[in-house]
Structure 1
């Protein structure tokens, strides 16, 4: 009697082991693709970390960006990390806390830190800047409080300026920023504040994260009608950092 080719072969077991192998390769592939940003890792001093993890950094992959923005290769072609950050380590080893060495809000460190994003506007699918002032669009204010014309009040209850416009995310149809003009004694010129860090109440716009003396240092936009991704990061970081750094009193323990 001739033994069949698969007579004593367990096809179910083979299928299971093939699945195990496929799943292991899938995890390896996904983990390497996940390492296209932020790798190779560096330590607190900016040197390449000795332990990069169990998976090797992937080979470069080049993407052709839309709207004529050319090719971009990652991981080696990614935006370099910020250098010469005004922080010092309070202890001798990695992992010790870092403390600012200057003005943390101006230096962009700690809660006021920002990432070196591209200094170009974020675009919609048509290649147009997404976030633009309402005065340049066909949008109109339809409901709720219209903040235009309202005074801007700082965290220490000082009137520092007046709201002049709203900046909208045109594709999403959302207000992203409020534009306001600072009074001369607080720096003058126009600034924008993220709508999520402003509170509209009783005919006023409150920006509680900053005190009056902080407003002059708010980063500005290079254009009057658009904001770049780098500018967005710096502006948002400045306002958010004020919750800790607007005054020395805010850095003290609550108890």
Structure 2
């Protein structure tokens, strides 16, 4: 028999389970180090690398070729992290001790700090698998129509204080997903063209109006605008959604 003549008293089941645990530990190590390609090296409050950065060492630099001719990206890299950092934050440390909270020194919704913080993403629109812009106004998509639910177009927009601030004029659709992402609100009912985007998740479409609870009447003028009314960039999306989300705490 194989178990007697070749392996003798060796416990094959024990070897198998130990090989599995060694493989699993190696897998955890690999996944954790690969996960450290973005956001590392870490920084402490003095803009230095903290002593207890991680239990795992940083992986070696690796260069990735980006799709759609957007060049290459090498991570982890201090230069890359420096280029992504926001250095103009309107914040002040509440105490000298490391890890103490940072407090806003201005209008946190406008400054984009705290719950209203945004990340410096690429200032280019998100593309689908074929290299086409994903999110477009429905007015530019003749093949799209409302098949279910309430159509918000033409409805008045009110904030958390109940004040009417404008009217919905269009919706923006994630074309590959066939999903509404934003609504366009004209802040002047007369149609002055002063428009802003409302994230669909931050609004409630009622039978007679669209309600955005997180903003009050005095907050709408400062909603980040888009450079184009035909597309929205990743950076603009982050700023817009952060402004509405931050209003939940800061608008009042």
TM-score calculated relative to the size of structure 1: 0.88
Whether the 8 Å contact between 1:188 and 1:216 is mirrored in structure 2 is no
Q: How does 1:83-98 map to 2 (within 5 A)?
A: 83-98=87-102
Q: Does 1:157 align with 2:158?
A: no
Q: Name 1:250's counterpart in structure 2.
A: none
Whether the 8 Å contact between 2:92 and 2:104 is mirrored in structure 1 is yes
Deviation, 1:112, is: 0.6
**Matching residue within 131, 136, 139 for 1:132:** 136
Greater displacement, 151-160 / 222-231: 151-160
TM-score calculated relative to the size of structure 2: 0.89
Q: Does 1:35 align with 2:47?
A: no
Instruction: Tell me the secondary structure at the aligned position of residue 30 of structure 2.
Output: helix
Structure 2 unaligned segments of length 5 or more: list them. none
| Alignment partners' CA distance in 1, 2:117 and 2:163 | 26
Whether the 8 Å contact between 1:113 and 1:237 is mirrored in structure 2 is yes
Deviation, 1:34, is: 1.0
Q: Name 2:237's counterpart in structure 1.
A: 232
| Alignment partners' CA distance in 2, 1:235 and 1:133 | 16
Q: Which runs of 4+ in 1 moved over 6 A?
A: none
Whether the 8 Å contact between 2:136 and 2:173 is mirrored in structure 1 is yes
Q: Name 1:168's counterpart in structure 2.
A: 173
Instruction: Tell me the secondary structure at the aligned position of residue 67 of structure 1.
Output: helix
**Matching residue within 222, 227, 232 for 1:217:** 222
Q: How does 1:52-201 map to 2 (within 5 A)?
A: 52-76=53-77, 77=80, 80-137=84-141, 138-183=143-188, 189-201=194-206
Deviation, 1:200, is: 1.3
Deviation, 1:170, is: 0.6
Instruction: Tell me the secondary structure at the aligned position of residue 236 of structure 2.
Output: helix
| Alignment partners' CA distance in 2, 1:44 and 1:231 | 28
Q: Does 1:44 align with 2:48?
A: no
Greater displacement, 236-245 / 20-29: 20-29
Whether the 8 Å contact between 2:150 and 2:207 is mirrored in structure 1 is no
Q: C-alpha deviations, 1:52-96, integer Å up to 9, x for none?
A: 111011112222222222222222135522213111121221222
Q: How many positions carry a matched residue from both structures? A: 244
Q: C-alpha deviations, 1:215-248, integer Å up to 9, x for none?
A: 111101111111111110100010111111112x
| Alignment partners' CA distance in 1, 2:226 and 2:99 | 35
Structure 1 unaligned segments of length 5 or more: list them. 248-255
